[in-house]
Structure 1
């Protein structure tokens, strides 16, 4: 499989290493200094593009690549307001699009555990929920996309909560999502239910970027040759296992 890397920072290098080990070829590497090489001709030479940049660039990058008909795997977070346009573009161009707040296999299993725990806590009003996440200082969006996904899952399954808020909840309908930025931390997410009697916590801790990179390559392998909008649940067959 031929892969175009849109964004060639630490994640791009990690993806390249995993993809090469799995027998794939990197045919295009786009950094801030060579964006002029992101031409339709170069993009169409790839079977799939993997986009890991930043919230400011992601929407433009994704729409540009999809417009050429090349499938896109996107790991940039913090641009949720542009996702509907990207999905519409993919369908219009008869290609594939998959965006995930986190590509780690472990995190996506963690998502399923989070949903189950929230549903179990729905009839336990004595427990208050909170989410904390810690990432490296280079991560621009806070809370992380993964933390927001976790929070939205809680809202979908915990009827007594209506909104998540940054840092401190002022209303009983709200719960806090707290973000920390510490040098060298790949990513830790903690969902906690606290009562006067005890606490229940689920935690996912990433040790390095390899899990994110592997998941992105697995997603690229999955969408190759497909048309439509996909999720990491599709890639991992999570729904099929239920």
Structure 2
């Protein structure tokens, strides 16, 4: 499989190694200074770029009939536009806030727990995410996905950074040097607490999941998620 990398920072380099380990070829490393792109030279694109560049990268790939995997967060105000373009061009597109295989199992567990807890009104939900100091957006895309998973399966209607309120999930975001990513969902009552937690030990799981998604999407048309890739739910 011939892969183009949009974004060649730490994550791009890790995806490159994961792809090479699975006998794929990296044919393009596209960064902010890249002037020309030969879309005929690759089979699939993986985007881990900047929030300001992601939508443009996705658009270019879909317009050139290239399946694209995007793990960039912070651009989701344009997500529905990307979906509409994918449908118009009959392309193939996967966005995930986190490509880690373990995190996607955690997403499913989070939704299942939210359904179980819905009728237990004495418990209040809150979330915490911890990432390295280079992470630009807060809360993380993964935390937002977790919050949306609770909202879709409970009476909560919104989330807010560092702020609680009626039917509102407060999310605390911390930035600590060299932390790949830790996410915790808390259910607290006056008499006890329940929590579920995912801790990434390194970033290799994110890279591997992105490459697996790229392998899966070849030959397909449509808008997909990691649930489709991993046959979850």
What is aligned with 1:36?
A: 35
Residue matched to 1:24: 24
Q: Equivalences for 1:119-158 in 2 at 5 Å? A: 119-158=115-154
Deviation at 1:81, TM superposition (A): 1.3
Q: Does structure 1 residue 166 correspond to structure 2 residue 161?
A: yes
Q: Which of the pair is proportionally richer in helix?
A: 1
Matched residue, 1:83: 79
Which of 199, 208, 211 is the equivalent residue of 1:205? 199
Question: Is residue 44–residue 69 contact of structure 1 (8 Å, CA) maintained in 2?
Answer: no
Q: Is the 8 A contact 1:8 1:31 kept in 2?
A: yes
Aligned residues: 233
TM-score, scaled relative to structure 2: 0.97
Aligned pair 1:104/2:103, yes or no? no
Q: Compute the displacement of 1:228 (Å).
A: 1.0
Deviations 1:51-95 (A, max 9, x none): 001211111111112111111000001111111111222222222
In 2, the alpha carbon distance for the partners of 1:205 and 1:151 equals 17
SS at 1:178's partner residue? strand
Runs of 4+ in 1 over 3 A off after TM superposition: none
Residue 115 of structure 1 aligns to a residue whose secondary structure is: helix
Partner of 2:173: 179
Give distance in 1, aligned partners of 2:44 and 2:112: 33
User: How far apart, CA to CA, are the structure 2 residues paired with 1:166 and 1:212?
Assistant: 24
Unaligned runs of at least 5 residues, structure 2? none
Normalised TM-score (structure 1): 0.94
Structure 1 stretches lacking a partner, 5+ long: none
Deviates most, 202-211 or 173-182: 173-182
Task: Establish whether residue 52 from structure 1 lines up as the match of residue 48 from structure 2.
Answer: yes
1:228 aligns with 2:222: yes
